[in-house]
Amino acid sequence: MKMSGGVEWSVHCLSLLASLPPDRTLSAKRLAEFHGIPAAYLTKHLQALVRDNILESIPGPRGGFRLSRATEQITLLDVVDAIDGKRPAFRCSEIRQRGPSALGSKCYRRPCGIAAAFANADAAWRGSLMNCTLSDLIAEIPEKVDPRQQKKSAAWLKKVLG
């Protein structure tokens, strides 16, 4: 089971965009440059975040991307759903309806116990992601990111925002 690498990129980009002054934006090219990742692939993910109203895309020469909601209103689950979609990890193919013990399809109105157990695990995973907001992650930066890296990030932002 594997989450798309675009999820990691997206959360890092959102975290950087959260540090912008009001009404400023960063282009896909700048976001890719800051993270050392390919701009073309990143753009696809940024568009998915726009589609789910996590980012806004501002047109024009000073345009680019910015958060479209407060950091408290963006959860890791929102990002995962935008990038990887909402389908559960366990996809029941209803094999109980095949083979010599199968009944007619009308006899399977209640979910299979096995599928239900996996759905519980999915709910636990989604619940954990839903309880972590971009705001929570940003609050941890002073403790979790080396101060020298914080300083270099701020200097880079100052330079590119002009």
Using CB under 8 A, list all residues that contact a second copy: 1-5, 7-9, 11-12, 15, 33-37, 76, 80, 84, 87, 89-93, 95-96, 98-103, 107-108, 110, 112-118, 120-125, 127-129, 132, 136-137, 140-141, 144-146, 148-149, 152-153, 156
Minimum CB separation from a second copy for residue 21, in Å? 18
- Type of residue found at 97: Q
Minimum CB separation from a second copy for residue 11, in Å? 5
User: Between 59 and 101, whose beta carbon lies closer to a second copy?
Assistant: 101
Q: How far is CA 26 from the centre of its chain?
A: 18
User: Between 34 and 60, whose beta carbon lies closer to a second copy?
Assistant: 34
- Asked whether 25 and 62 are in contact (CB, 8 A), the reply is yes
Give the burial string for 96-110 (b: 16+ CB within 10 Å, else e).
Answer: beeeeeeeeeeeeee
Minimum CB separation from a second copy for residue 48, in Å? 15
Minimum CB separation from a second copy for residue 50, in Å? 21
Structure tokens at 98: 């095949």
DSSP 128-145: HHHT-BHHHHHHTHHHHS
